[in-house]
Amino acid sequence: MADEIKGLDFERPIIELEERIERLKIPAPEDIIDHSGEIKALEEKLETVKNQIYGSLSTWQRVMLARHPKRPYTLDYIKMMVTDFVELHGDRAFADDRAMICGLGALDGAPIAVIGHQKGRNLHENLDRNFAMAHPEGYRKALRIMKLAEKFGLSIVTFVDTPGAYPGIAAEERGQAEAIARNLREMSDLRVPVVCVVIGEGGSGGALGIGIANRILMLENSYYSVISPEGCAAILFRDASKAAEAAAALKITAQDLHKIGVVDEIITEPLGVAHRDHKFTAEKIKECVVRHLRELQKLSPEKISRDRYEKFKKMGSFVDAPESLKRKEIKIRSKKS
């Protein structure tokens, strides 16, 4: 695992300490020296270094962690959180999109519908899953399962983890924009509780297509944005290499979004990183999701729908300009006309 994550430069001090500790724990046969004291000292130093590094991450470092290839994906969380899961396939119109996982199962004993983007662990799997970039049939499949859940009174849990909806010609020909727009409209009026968890990347409309929820939760090192940092840098700075600068300007981290009320709760990761302890992360997500679902299930179907509407209505803020400034603006416009 150490070799696979050396690409994250800021994690190298942690990896080097872990490797030193591992070597001391498995000494050579001829080594008769007791290394327990040295191991303890290194383990204490490791904890300090972890807290220092993961306690002061930049926006771009969080983006890198959100994209980490060892980070748990939707199916990983389903296996650890949901019992009796049965995957459902197809949009009943064109095909089954493997970038979007949909199915039914039980969470803490209660039946639920589960929907989420799914990435692959290697090139073959990523090609099969289209790098978690869903086609229109993926969003139509998701909506089909949501409507099924509403019909039978099942709560819905969605896992967001995508760079964005697939922008290819075939997807556009089959109505990508319409499929996402329909999901936004239909999800806004669902009469059952919906909890969305951003577990990695939350890219643009591809994320929003399954993200209209009563409660939006984000893992500590995930991001949620109208555009990828690279895309933003290419448009604003005409230089994709300025992605780190664009990421900071976009305010896309869980911490930024929680401050402005877009996100309801930040789910803590183990010492900052989900890929280092899948089970701990899954337990934290399950605890938060179950708590929010129980609160929402106390509401009537009408109030659940209204609660979701009010949540999105409150997002964003503006400041009304003083009358003097308004009059000045009117005069400027009059002169121009």
Q: Model confidence over 29-57: pLDDT tens digits?
A: 666 676 678 888 888 888 888 888 888 89
Rounded Cα distance between 21 and 46, Å, is 9
Q: Among 143, 92, 150, 95, which Cα is nearest to 115's?
A: 143
Backbone angles phi, psi at 315, to 5 degrees: -65, 140
Backbone angles phi, psi at 115, to 5 degrees: -135, 140
Cβ–Cβ under 8 Å, residues 156 and 116 = no
Rounded Cα distance between 275 and 271, Å, is 10
Cβ–Cβ under 8 Å, residues 179 and 136 = yes
AA letter at 242: K
Cβ-based neighbour number of residue 117 at 10 Å: 33
AA letter at 164: G
User: How much of the chain, in percent, has pLDDT values that exceed 70?
Assistant: 90
Rounded Cα distance between 7 and 5, Å, is 5
Question: In the prediction, which pLDDT does 54 show?
Answer: 86
The count of residues in the chain is 337
Rounded Cα distance between 247 and 20, Å, is 34
> Which residues, in sequence order, are bridge partners of residue 194?
156
**Has residue 306 got a pLDDT over 50?**
yes
Backbone angles phi, psi at 72, to 5 degrees: -65, 140
Question: In the prediction, which pLDDT does 5 show?
Answer: 46
Does this model's pTM top 0.95? no
Summarised one tens digit per residue, pLDDT across range 135-188 is 999 999 999 999 999 999 999 999 999 999 999 999 999 999 999 999 999 999
Cβ–Cβ under 8 Å, residues 74 and 159 = yes
Rounded Cα distance between 108 and 207, Å, is 26
Question: In the prediction, which pLDDT does 151 show?
Answer: 97
